Amino acid sequence: MSGGQGAATMRAAVQDRYGPPEVLHVEQVPRPAAAAGEVLIRIRAASVSQTDAHARAAHPVFWRLLAGLRRPRWRTVGVDFSGVVEAVGADVRRFAVGDEVYGLMSWLGGGSHREYVTIPETGWVVPKPMNLTFEEAAAVPDGAMQALATLRVGGVKEGSRVVVYGASGALGTGAVQIAKHLGAHVTGVTSTKNLDLVRSLGADDVLDYTREDLAARGPVFDVVIDAVGKYAFYWGRRALKPGGIYVETDFGPHKLHTLVHWIAGRWMGSRKLRFASGRRSTADLLLLKDLIEAGSYRPVIDSVYPLDDVVAAHRRVDGWHKVGNVVLTMDAAPGGQGGGTPA
């Protein structure tokens, strides 16, 4: 509970130690107020991403260097959000009370898994796409902006032959759609049950990794994007043309091998390993808004959980079987909208 009598409070998912989803619980915490140049947003929905799971568990261990060695410096995780402007601080010009917005918070000191947040007017927040629900809008920013940054690192353009390995995740579903918008020929790699979904997002070709090895197709691709951190440069380079680019996006297994081959590759061969950029901008949020409203991009939602079921939502993400995005809502009671059931 908050300290002062009568002080405004809100509900938030919090943690006091690193660990599995069970370290999370919902409690009343002080509600923030908008300072000068800030907006107070009532959160309607937020996603639960792999970034959130990494921060919660401090895995890989480098997270402790950023978020606290012994315990979390910030009790609430969460990056994506959608909601309504509740109040504005002095000198705010871009937003007014009642505006529907979506965007991202900095994961350093951020945390959208709560009922209210404040964010600078100049932060990563823009008007919500008109044709999306709050749940759909919350499923867009982090994955889609990662996809944009990753495609830029790979130099994807019209005519590029691109592989998205892990095409059914949050980043992967975004990368398939944006690469197609850029005019690339896209091959989506996923499991058997998600082949139709990836096709529906615009992939020109799909590959079932349980039945076929991407490398067996030979060196025919310009860019290979590992969207889930489960592939590796020392495999994927065999699918690249000379001069092709492999883009790494996450710290999954096989990374020691990846680093060894990256070092060796500086002296051997022309195929390149690049690491994904963390670039974020309001311009990209507005670009995504335009794509969505034009019908060129759609968010994919795996499941929707109320805030009280935050532990179950994190378990779903930890299982590595989600399709698209897991979403938290702030309004529903336990077992409410979506019921925690995968879509």
**For residue range 156-186, what is the model confidence (pLDDT) as tens digits?**
999 999 999 999 999 999 999 999 999 999 9
CB atoms within 10 A of CB 145: 26
**For residue range 50-74, what is the model confidence (pLDDT) as tens digits?**
889 888 988 767 677 777 778 888 8
Based on its alpha-carbon atoms, the radius of gyration of the chain, rounded to whole angstroms, reads 20
pTM of the entire predicted model:
0.88
Q: Options 3.40.50.720, 2.120.10.90, 3.30.1300.10, 3.40.50.300; which CATH number does 142-275 get?
A: 3.40.50.720
Contact criterion met (CB below 8 Å) for 273 and 265: yes
Q: Which two tokens stand for residue 296?
A: 């060129």
Residue 104 CA to residue 124 CA, distance in Å, equals 5
Residue pointed to by tokens 């790979």: 154
Helix (H, G, I), strand (E, B) or coil at 316: helix
Instruction: Please state which CATH number belongs to domain 9-140+300-329.
Output: 3.90.180.10
Range scoring the smallest mean pLDDT among 186-195, 242-251, 255-264, 327-336:
255-264
The number of CA neighbours under 13 Å toward the Cβ of 65 is 3
| Closest residue by Cα to residue 76 from 12, 7, 160 | 12
**For residue range 245-289, what is the model confidence (pLDDT) as tens digits?**
999 886 554 455 555 555 555 544 678 888 877 778 999 999 999
| Closest residue by Cα to residue 135 from 334, 327, 309 | 327
Residue 26 CA to residue 222 CA, distance in Å, equals 46
Query: Domain spans of the chain?
Result: 9-140+300-329, 142-275
